[in-house]
Structure 1
Amino acid sequence: MTTPPAPPTVRRARQDEWRETRDLRLAALQDPAAPVAFLETYDVAAARPDAFWQERARGNATSDAVAALVAVDADGRWVATTTGLIEEPGATDVLGGPVAQRQVHLVGVFVRPEHRGAGLLGRLFDGVQDWARSAGVARARLCVHVDNPRAQAAYAKLGFTPSGERFVLEQGEEIELVRAL
């Protein structure tokens, strides 16, 4: 009998992992749900210079206000990611709206199709939320497109509920979901 592979390790992305950061983002932008799940297109992201990805990786790894968590399988392949952005009251969020309270905004959520349904999303969110809690944050939020029921169901399983806020973006209408940390 063979031993099942070890579950992927969830950890914060490192500064030197800009290529992996880029490659997983490009994979996410090729997912069939990408048009309603992300605020940029594959073509835009693929055209970005290496310096952009190097700066993104540096910020994701070293900032007190941003943290990217990744799931890495036993072969070193990145299989999932999400990023937490700490938002401060009075600031403007990534959607252009005002921030009313201190919170962590989960963005860039992606799990490779062959790893979905195995609990990775919950592990990633727990990691981001542990990071945010250590910074004194007590509320998490994320936004999901009204035409992305798969993501809505996954977030509901993790305890996220609609706040009542909705946003209309270029991609269409988004629902804000929240969860206490």
Structure 2
Amino acid sequence: MSDIAVRTLSEDQWQDYRQVRLAALAESPEAFVATHAEESGYDEDFWRQRMRRSSRILAEREGTVLGVVSVGSSSEQREDVAELFGLWVAPQHRGSGVAWKLVQAGADQARAEGKAHLVYWVGTDNGRGVAFASSFGFRTTDYRRPMRVVSEEEGAEEMAMVLPLGADPGSVPSPTLR
């Protein structure tokens, strides 16, 4: 089996992103804020704007898309913090290192952009997600927000997990992410 390759898409590759994003929404509707029906109706201009707003990274093997992740500005509006979001791996490729490669590429990109921390929001009841992020080096925090995914029950929360990107792996944003 060949290696997993990752690549950051350019704005002109919006159709590649659209295709994998719609596949993710169709396969795992409970994992996203948006719906397949909603996003499948968006036009080229919408997708191009989305490409300019954040980086979209694909994982592939021999031309087959295995997964996707996005990296953008932190929702907390800190210049030194990037946010990792929209992580999805096709079901048949889960557990094969695809998510690891995508997160590594996202962290490398954030580090190259001079970011000090990478934030990844994970459901507080998503043990598998928390375990994966922890194994990568993300640290749990006390920062919580209501779960933004529509399929989640009222009151569900997600927490910010933080990956230090600088020379000091023990550093965390202080006193808040803001």
SS in 2 for 1:43: helix
2:175 — aligned with what? none
4+ long deviations beyond 4 Å: none
Q: Tell whether the 8 Å contact from 1:105 to 1:140 is kept in structure 2 after alignment.
A: yes
* Residue equivalent to 1:119: 97
Look up the equivalent residue of 1:70 and give its one-letter code. Answer: L
Given the alignment, which residue of 60, 63, 77 partners 1:99?
A: 77
Distance in 1 of aligned mates of 2:26 and 2:85: 17
Q: Which residue does 2:72 correspond to in 1?
A: 85
Unaligned runs of 5+ in 2: 150-155, 166-178
Pairing 1:133–2:111 present: yes
Count, aligned residues = 159
Structure 1: state its 5+ residue gaps.
Answer: 61-65, 88-92
- 2:60 pairs, out of 72, 90, 96, with 72
Instruction: Work out the CA distance in 2 between the residues paired with 1:100 and 1:16.
Output: 28
Deviation at 1:165?
0.6
| Residues 1:30 and 1:150: Cα distance change in structure 2 (over 3 Å) | farther
Report if the CA contact (8 A) 1:86-1:132 is conserved: no
Q: Following TM superposition, by how much is the alpha carbon of 1:99 offset from its aligned partner in structure 2, in angstroms?
A: 3.5
Q: 1:178 aligns with which of 158, 162, 173?
A: 162
Check if 1:22 corresponds to 2:14: no
Choose the corresponding residue for 2:7, options 5, 11, 28.
11
- CA distance in 1 between counterparts of 2:121 and 2:81 reads 13
* TM-score w.r.t. length of structure 1: 0.78
Task: Name the CA distance, whole Å, in 2 between partners of 1:31 and 1:159.
Answer: 28
Q: Is the contact made by 2:66 and 2:98 (CA closer than 8 Å) also made in structure 1?
A: no
> Aligned with 1:11: secondary structure?
strand
Q: Tell me what 2:41 maps to.
A: 47
The RMSD of aligned alpha carbons is 1.9
Q: Please, what TM-score do these two structures have when normalized by structure 2?
A: 0.79
Identity among equivalent pairs (%): 28
